[in-house]
């Protein structure tokens, strides 16, 4: 996933073409996969440039999602959108309830153990099928140079302090 400007958040990706009439396959990063279509117009990262596009139609297809973008009516045109990240402006996101956060807010937070050992900084999250995983990359202040994969679960994540820019985890630094 490419880094979006500060005022944008990536909510999915165009992964391929679908059929011959210009439809594309869409992978959603949203909790409910169909929500990727509920935020209005998209911005696609095309060769490093965020280009606005309008979704004219969409539907579920098997276990996935497909969409037709405005003005895209054949397979050749649709191919130019393949592997483009889908972003929206941050202000298009609904307000979170008390105690809830968006995953993009975790990016770059410092990760420390309950004993205050610095493990690194959150690079990104992904879902491995069983649970969400924090990818923690080492920083100059880390205990070592290792990248760590930590479960994003109540057992591991003890506290998130957005104001301090820190996540406290119950994790053995040797693990």
What tens digit of pLDDT does each residue of 13-68 get?
Answer: 999 999 999 999 999 988 889 999 999 999 999 999 999 999 999 999 999 999 99
* pLDDT tens profile 72-118: 999 999 999 999 999 999 989 888 888 888 888 899 999 999 999 99
pLDDT at residue 96 in the model: 86
CA 71 to CA 55: how far, in whole Å?
Answer: 10
Average pLDDT of the chain is 93
Rounded CA separation 135/121 (Å)? 8
For residue 15, the enclosing domain spans 8-92
**In terms of domains, do 16 and 75 share one?**
yes
Same domain, 12 and 71: yes
Count structural domains, the chain: 2
1 in a domain, yes or no? no
**156 in the same domain as 121:** yes
pLDDT at 4: 66
| pLDDT of amino acid 1 | 47
**Judgement on whether residues 107 and 88 belong to the same structural domain of the protein:** no
CA-based nearest residue to 148, from 114, 171, 166: 171
């Amino acid at each position: 996933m490419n880094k979006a400007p500060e005022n944008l958040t990536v909510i999915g990706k165009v992964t391929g073409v679908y059929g011959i009439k210009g439809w594309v396959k869409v992978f959603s990063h949203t909790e409910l996969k169909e929500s990727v279509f509920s935020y209005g117009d998209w911005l696609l990262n095309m060769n490093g440039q965020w280009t606005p596009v309008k979704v004219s139609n969409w539907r579920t297809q098997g276990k996935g999602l497909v969409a037709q973008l405005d003005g895209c009516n054949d397979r050749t045109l649709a191919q130019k959108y393949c592997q483009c990240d889908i972003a929206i402006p941050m202000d298009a996101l609904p307000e979170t309830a008390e105690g809830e956060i968006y995953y993009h807010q975790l990016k770059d937070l410092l990760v420390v153990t309950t004993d205050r050992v610095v493990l690194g900084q959150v690079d990104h999250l992904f879902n491995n099928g069983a649970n969400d995983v924090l990818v923690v990359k080492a920083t100059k202040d880390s205990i070592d140079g290792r990248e760590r994969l930590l479960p994003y679960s109540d057992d591991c994540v003890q506290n998130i302090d957005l104001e301090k820019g820190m996540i406290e985890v119950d994790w053995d630094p040797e693990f």
